[in-house]
Structures are given as structure tokens and as C-alpha cells.
Structure 1
Amino acid sequence: MVGIEIGKYVVNPFTLFIEPVEYDKKLYSRIVEEEVEFISPFNPIQNIKHSCSYYGCDYESKRKGTKLLIDYSRKLPIVIEPINGIYAFCTASPYNVNCYWFFLNQIKDYRRISAKQIVVIFHNGYSQTFPISYNSFHSQFAKVLTLQNNLLQRVEHSRKKMFYLEKKPESPKASESNEFYSKDSKNSKDSKE
């Protein structure tokens, strides 16, 4: 096995993908970042779950959040860390031994090589062929874009609302002074006595 051996891995803005690899009859993860590669004795979904927890929310909650934002129920993409825009998507059921995880912010392009192979080109110039059908990858890529778009629209809506509330004009004041009414009420009391 090639790469730096580590324990559980935390996804970050430099993560390109997490690939399942079998080693000694056990499923490991090969994790490729922009400048370095790691091997983790934990499978991909374990590393994804650990990353979600690291950023303060469990994996199942991330999945539920995705369901609220997009109308899908299988092979859901997730927002691992929204501040740095870390959106992840899987290529199969997350518990499938052939499930790869990709990170939206790192993908520059992808192309069909054959019926069951694609090449993914990353922003740092690295590219790799994966045993994934183009249609499957394209479908998952579209889902994660939808997730990102819907979340960003909601954030923008909240920002506009906050801006409006902070900048809203003061309520108009009556042009007449309330002194006039208070004097009148005093005078009317005097006249009744």
C-alpha cells in the first residue's frame, strides 16, 4: 500500500476523494488530498461519519438535512462543513464496498472512458480513472449541485432578510405633537370640575 498510514481521517478543503481499498481481507480507505495521499484502516463511510462528527453533527443528521433540502432519498450527498463549502457525494450506497466519495469543490471535470469507467479531473491537475459509470457519476454530481444551490439560496434569503431588518426605515412619526393632546385632556378635566 502506498501513502501515509493514519487512523481516522477528517475531510478538509484539500480532500479530493476517498476510495475503498481491500488490504489483508479488510476494507480500508485510500484518501487523496491535493498534495498527499493517506491510507486509513477505516472504511470510507467510517471516515465520512468521523468527519461529520468532527465538524459538530452526526452523519444521520446530515442525511436528514439533505432530505429537507432536496427531493431525493437514496445515495444522498451531504454538507460535511458548510463554512468552507465541503460538499460530499457517494457513487453507490454508502455501505457498499465499492462506494467512492468525492468532494464538489475539487472537481474540475469528468469524462466517460467506457461503459463502466470515467476519468475525473481535479482542480489541482490530478486526474484518475474510476470504475464508475458516467451516468451514475453524473447523476450524483447533479444531486450535490442541487444540494449546494438550495442551501446557498436559503443562506442568501436569510442574509437579505437580516439586511432588510437592520436597514429598515424608522416608523413614521405623527406630524402633530402629543403635547397638544395631553394639554387638551388636562383642559377637559378642568372644565368638568
Structure 2
Amino acid sequence: MSSLVMSHYEINEQTMALIPANYTDYQTIAMETDKKLYIKKTPFQIIERGCLNNFSSFEGRRNSVNYLTGFKRKAPIPISVYRNIYAFPTHALKDWDCCWIFYHHVESVVKVKSNHSVILLKNGTQVSIDIPRLELLKQMERTSYILFISRDGLRS
């Protein structure tokens, strides 16, 4: 592990996942395509800041997704439509185990046990999650739908 712990983290095109970590020095492991970073903020705080850095609040993004899709629980969030950055939560937002997975980096989802899966990322990294495979596939499908409607302007 790198001894460098960062105070802040800026979500970018290389961000693959934000994993909660319960350590004294850091609360998130930010997985990028070529490195892991250790961040003092929680995954949710990083997501909130990512939305603000892209001219919206998290609540605004979530309200928009809810309005356009009807998705209320575990709604995927378009962090930046222009930079093609979309993320989805693995658990309820208040759940300590909630990871944020960045859609374009997912290669596949593999079932390990009935309530345990592994997300295979395009760079070969694996993220082990205590969620059934079908739930993760549903999150992928919902994120894909948000990407589709945000790109193709199906809104009237």
C-alpha cells in the first residue's frame, strides 16, 4: 500500500471504483486503471464532490434520474455526461458497504455464491461484492438506460 493518503480525490475518466475502507487514515480506496489511491473522504463524499465539479449537486442528479426514469432506490448517477462518467451504487447510500462502480470500466459480473459476486473490470482488476449477480446486472442495465437517454435526448 502506498503511504500517501490524499485529502481529496477528483473523479476522472480513469476512476473505476470507489471502495469503502474503515481505516484511521483513510475511508476510501479509489481504484483507477493503473493505480489505487487512499482517500480521507467517504465514497459518497467523493461522489457528491464529483457532481459539484460537473455543475450539479448530487441531489439534483438523483432527482433528475428519478424524474426521467422512475428509479428511486440505488439510482445510478451521471457524474459527467460530457466526460462519459456514470457510476452506480452497490448498496443503499447509507449502507457502510456501499461501493460506487463506474459503468464504462466493467467487463463482466461473475457469480461466486448466491449472495456474492465479483465485478471484473476491463483492466483485469476484480472487485468482490456481497451482492447477488442479478442485482449488479440490474444496476448495469439501469446505468445503460440513463446513458442512453442522456445521450440521445429522449426527453421532450
1:65-80 alignment, distance < 5 Å? 65-80=64-79
Cross-structure match for 2:135: 136
Number of residue pairs matched by the alignment: 155
1:101-180 alignment, distance < 5 Å? 101-154=100-153
Q: TM-score, normalised by structure 2?
A: 0.91
Shift of 1:130: 2.2
> Counterparts of 2:9 and 2:20 in 1: how far apart (Å)?
13
> Counterparts of 2:112 and 2:26 in 1: how far apart (Å)?
26
Matched residue of 2:138: which SS? helix
Q: Pairwise CA RMSD of aligned residues?
A: 1.9
Structure number with greater Rg is: 1
- What is the identity, as a one-letter code, of the residue corresponding to 2:14? F
- What is the identity, as a one-letter code, of the residue corresponding to 1:80? I
Does 2:71 match 1:88? Answer: no
> Counterparts of 2:10 and 2:126 in 1: how far apart (Å)?
22
Cross-structure match for 2:16: 16
Q: Is residue 27–residue 97 contact of structure 1 (8 Å, CA) maintained in 2?
A: no
Higher relative contact order (CA 8 A, sep 6+): 2
**Which consecutive residues of structure 2, in runs of 5 or more, have no partner in the other structure?**
none
Q: TM-score, normalised by structure 1?
A: 0.74
- What is the identity, as a one-letter code, of the residue corresponding to 1:111? V
Q: Which sits farther off after the overlay, 5-14 or 125-134?
A: 125-134
Cross-structure match for 2:55: 56
List structure 1 runs of 4+ shifted beyond 4 angstroms: none
Identity %: 21
Q: Which has the higher helix share?
A: 1
Does 2:12 match 1:28? Answer: no
Matched residue of 1:113: which SS? strand
